[in-house]
């Protein structure tokens, strides 16, 4: 009986070590990035984890075994939930948003993405948010850039009325206009 408990203890410890190793090394596979911009009195910042394509199908159907299936929740990165912070009240596409920090996630589709802002912060991104805490849902079109992007990239570019947030990965680009209210 003692031998059985020893074997079970070793297996349990081995499983725990394997799990913790996976948790801690995952962050090195998808490094954290902070991108920000100040333009025309608007300060905006995004903190997200940048996964690589690694010869995988990124966007597509579940039947195709896409990493990010169409019509499903996606944390807009890897690891922790992606967070966006606005220094002033803004219009996120056409939705008024108060200054502050929000969890940002997407539901990609082939021709457009639904991007949402949610007031639930500090959560591991794998788990879907409490949708009752969504403060905005916007629809943005998908464009196909001429070049392929190996690593998920979120950038900002100035616009005449604010900034454009670009989300680019694989052969997909979505652009989200953000303006000061």
* pLDDT at residue 48 in the model: 96
**Is residue 22 predicted with pLDDT exceeding 70?**
no
Contact 158, 165 (CB under 8 A): no
φ, ψ of residue 107 to 5 degrees: the values are -125, 95
Map out the domains of the chain as residue ranges: 1-30, 31-180
The rounded distance, in Å, linking the Cα atoms of 99 and 44 is 10
Read off the pLDDT of each residue in 34-51 and give the average, rounded to a whole number.
Answer: 95
What is the rounded average pLDDT for all residues in the chain?
Answer: 90
Contact 173, 164 (CB under 8 A): no
Dihedral sign, Cα of residue 140, residue 142, residue 143, residue 146 = positive
Count other Cβ atoms within 10 Å, centred on residue 46. Answer: 21
C-alpha distance from residue 70 to each of 60, 84, 112, 151, 164 (Å): 6, 23, 10, 19, 23
**What is the C-alpha R_g of the chain?**
19
The rounded distance, in Å, linking the Cα atoms of 125 and 77 is 8
Pick the more confident residue, 145 or 18.
Answer: 145
pLDDT tens track for 135-160: 999 999 999 999 999 999 999 999 99
The rounded distance, in Å, linking the Cα atoms of 45 and 26 is 23
Work out the percent of the chain whose per-residue pLDDT is above 70.
88
pLDDT tens track for 88-106: 999 999 999 999 999 999 9
- Which residues, 6+ apart, have CB-to-CB distance to 167 below 8 Å? 76, 106, 113, 152, 153, 154, 173, 174, 175, 176
pLDDT band at 19 (very low <50, low <70, confident <90, very high): low
The rounded distance, in Å, linking the Cα atoms of 144 and 46 is 23
**Is residue 169 predicted with pLDDT exceeding 60?**
yes
Q: What is the pTM of this model?
A: 0.83
The rounded distance, in Å, linking the Cα atoms of 167 and 141 is 11
pLDDT band at 49 (very low <50, low <70, confident <90, very high): very high
């Amino acid at each position: 009986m003692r031998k059985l408990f020893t074997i079970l203890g070793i297996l349990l410890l081995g499983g725990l070590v394997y799990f913790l190793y996976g948790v801690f090394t995952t962050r090195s596979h998808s490094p954290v990035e902070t991108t920000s911009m100040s333009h025309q009195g608007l300060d905006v910042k995004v903190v997200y984890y940048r996964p690589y394509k690694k010869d995988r199908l990124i966007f597509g159907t579940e039947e195709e075994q896409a990493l990010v299936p169409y019509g499903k929740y996606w944390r807009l990165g890897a690891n922790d939930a992606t967070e966006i912070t606005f220094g002033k009240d803004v219009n996120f596409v056409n939705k008024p948003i108060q200054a502050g920090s929000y969890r940002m996630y997407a539901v990609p589709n082939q021709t457009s993405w639904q991007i949402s802002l949610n007031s639930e912060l500090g959560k591991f991104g794998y788990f879907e948010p409490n949708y009752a805490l969504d403060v905005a849902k916007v629809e943005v079109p998908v464009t196909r850039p001429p070049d392929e992007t190996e690593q998920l990239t979120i950038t900002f570019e100035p616009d005449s009325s604010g900034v454009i947030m670009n989300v680019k990965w694989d052969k997909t680009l979505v652009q989200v206009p953000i303006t000061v209210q």
